[in-house]
Each structure stands twice: as C-alpha cells, then as structure tokens.
Amino acid sequence: MEENGRKYHRYKAGAYMLPNDESEQARLDIQHHLFLLGLHGRLFLAPIEDAALHNVLDVATGTGIWATDFASTFPATNVIGTDLSLIQPPNAPPNCRFEIADAEDKWSFSTPFDYIHGRAFASCFKDHVPVFKSAFDALRPGGYFEMQDAAIPFRSIDESIKGTAFERWQHLIKEGTHALGRDFEKVPRYNSYFERVGFVDIVEK
C-alpha cells in the first residue's frame, strides 16, 4: 500500500510504522553495517559454540541481510527470517528461508531454536514482553536470545549533543512514537523484561 509517496506492507497494515520501499530497504542495509561496525564485524556476541548452531531464527529480519550473512557464515545451520514484509532477496543461501509473520502473534515453530536474534526492536512493538516470552518459549534448553538495539535518547560523553538539531530530532521522534502508542525509550528496560519472562544469565554490553 502507498501513503504520502511511500510504500508500506499490506500484511497487517499499520502494525509497523515505517515503510518497506527501496529507500527504507537501503536504510536497513546501512543500519546492518553500522551494527557490524559497533560489534567489530561480529554478527552476534552470544557465547554459543558453532557445533550447537543447528536452528537459528532472525525475528523482524527486514531485508534479511543479517540472516543471509549468518547463513553464509554457518552453512550447516538452518536459518529462518521472519518479517511482516516479504522484501528479502530471492537468491538467499540454500540454508536460509524467509516467512511472513508477525512477532506479536503466537509463534508456531515446530522445532526449537539454538539461537534467536533480534535487532532494533525499540519502535517495533507496543509491548515487548510477550515477544520476548515467545522467544524464550521457542528456544531449546540452554539456547540464547540476543537483542541488539540502541538506547534512546542518544547521549554524548562531552554533552556536545545538547542544543543541537539532533537532540531536537530525538524529542520529536519520542513525541511521534508516543502518539502511535510506542515507547522509543524501552531499551534500558529490556533486562527487566528478560527476567520477567524467565531468562537467566543475562548479559548487557
């Protein structure tokens, strides 16, 4: 569907507030590379052994760039990426597939996962707790759930952000997301959500 010159997903229209057109897909791919820079080239930080990576899930996979990179790096691993939009590449590695799904719905995977990955969830859901509970229930015993996200509002060590257009932009984003029933500042509370749904040995970096 199209609105204000931008294209959005049709499946569960309005569930996700950002578009899915070529400009947005390019932004998501840039975001992927920014995360890689921040993680020094690593796709994940969880201390899971390669031999234990049989089934992996990428929630809200977007363009599928993380899932395809992971599948290429671990060709013996089955990788599934889910998203509201089917905008992923048709030439994904043979061990990677994509499904249309809403992470806020009941998960119905038949095989438990060894590792579940999520990224940039801050504005995705009105309530993150049920999504994190679904991830907990979908893991095998001893499996890992990793969330990579940016804590908003952004801060600067020397406070040089104060009074800038970027600081004003953050305030506007906060107002806009709140008007849509989303809390853009939930990331610092993720740990408490993880504890609430049953996760243990939680590590924040």
Instruction: Report helix, strand and coil shares of the chain as percent, to nearest 5.
Output: 30, 20, 50
C-alpha closest to that of 74 among 45, 52, 59, 98: 52
**pLDDT confidence tier of residue 11, bands split at 50, 70 and 90:** low
Q: Which residues, 6 or more positions from 175, have their beta carbon under 8 angstroms from its beta carbon?
A: none
Tokens of 30: 């840039």
State how far the Cα of 57 lies from the Cα of 67, in Å rounded to an integer. 8
Question: What does the domain layout of the chain look like in residue ranges?
Answer: 2-155+186-197
Q: What is the pLDDT of residue 17?
A: 63
Q: 8-12, 45-49, 82-86, 116-120: lowest mean pLDDT where?
A: 8-12
Q: Please check whether residue 66 is in contact with residue 42, taking contact to mean a CB–CB distance below 8 angstroms.
A: no
Q: What is the pLDDT of residue 198?
A: 98
**pLDDT over 60 (residue 148):** yes
Q: Write down the pTM of the prediction.
A: 0.87
**pLDDT over 90 (residue 150):** no
Q: Domain 2-155+186-197: give its CATH superfamily.
A: Vaccinia Virus protein VP39 (3.40.50.150)
Please indicate whether residue 20 or residue 126 has the higher confidence score (pLDDT): 126
DSSP string, 68-93: HHHHHH-TTSEEEEEESS--S-TT--
Q: Which residue has the tokens 């040995």?
A: 201
Tokens of 164: 């800038």
Q: Each residue of 98-136: pLDDT tens digit?
A: 999 999 999 999 999 999 999 998 878 889 999 999 999
**pLDDT over 80 (residue 93):** yes
Please indicate whether residue 2 or residue 100 has the higher confidence score (pLDDT): 100
**pLDDT over 60 (residue 12):** no
What average pLDDT is seen over the chain?
89
* Average pLDDT rounded to a whole number, residues 36-50: 94
Q: Please check whether residue 86 is in contact with residue 100, taking contact to mean a CB–CB distance below 8 angstroms.
A: yes
Q: What is the pLDDT of residue 25?
A: 81
**pLDDT confidence tier of residue 14, bands split at 50, 70 and 90:** low
Provide the b/e sequence for 5-35 (b: ≥16 CB within 10 Å). Answer: eebbbeeeeebbeebbeeebbeebeebbeeb
